[in-house]
Amino acid sequence: MTLNQFKLLYQEQLAPIYPENEIHSILQIVCEDLLNWSRSDFMIKDREELSHLQEEILQKSLRELRASKPVQYITGKAHFYGHEFMVNEHTLIPRQETEELVDMIIKDHKAETYLNIIDIGTGTGCIGLSLKAAKPDCIITLMDVSEKALVIAQSNANHLKTPVKTILQDVLALDE
């Protein structure tokens, strides 16, 4: 099969779930993140025969998408504030609206060189780690009730080379 044939297959099978332009974007994300293609590869390889492994990856992704699994959980990656974050079923997928919060914090504290921030319910760590990347002198603490989420957050911190402290704690169980 070719990528063009997969484009048609994805359109046909995902049309009841997603709008047409979103299906195209999802397939592009799958190709970039799972096949390690660039955006230009996605555009120029549309008539080339895919390898058996590439076909398997695209078929498996299609099955998961048809089962309403988010593309970020399929690829294990999400993009947030110019960075790539590892995600899985133990974390929420970072939302674009949350990027506005990060941007607002950075702009509102532009002149301050020292901030001490705690990211409660950190999940992937996208908020705290994006702040640390933008303001390296900040002290960032990532807190979550889920040990599995903190493992992902720490992996993301290592990947971004942003040293942070992590705390396994249910904020609602803290004593006053």
| Strand-pair partners of 49 | 2
Q: Is residue 82 part of a domain?
A: no
Model-level pTM?
0.89
Cross-strand pairs, 78: 85
Q: Is residue 139 part of a domain?
A: yes
Each residue's pLDDT tens digit, 63-86: 999 999 999 999 999 999 999 999
Domain count for the chain: 2
Q: Among the three residues 22, 49, 75, which one is the final residue of a domain in this structure? A: 75
My answer on whether 65 and 104 are in the same domain is no
Average pLDDT for the chain: 95
Residue 52 has pLDDT above 70, yes or no: yes
Confidence (pLDDT) at 119: 97
Whether residue 109 contacts residue 132, with contact meaning beta carbons closer than 8 Å, is answered with no
Q: Which domain holds residue 34?
A: 3-75
Express each pLDDT in 26-38 by its tens digit: 999 999 999 999 9
User: Residue type at 56?
Assistant: E
CB 83 within 8 A of CB 129: yes
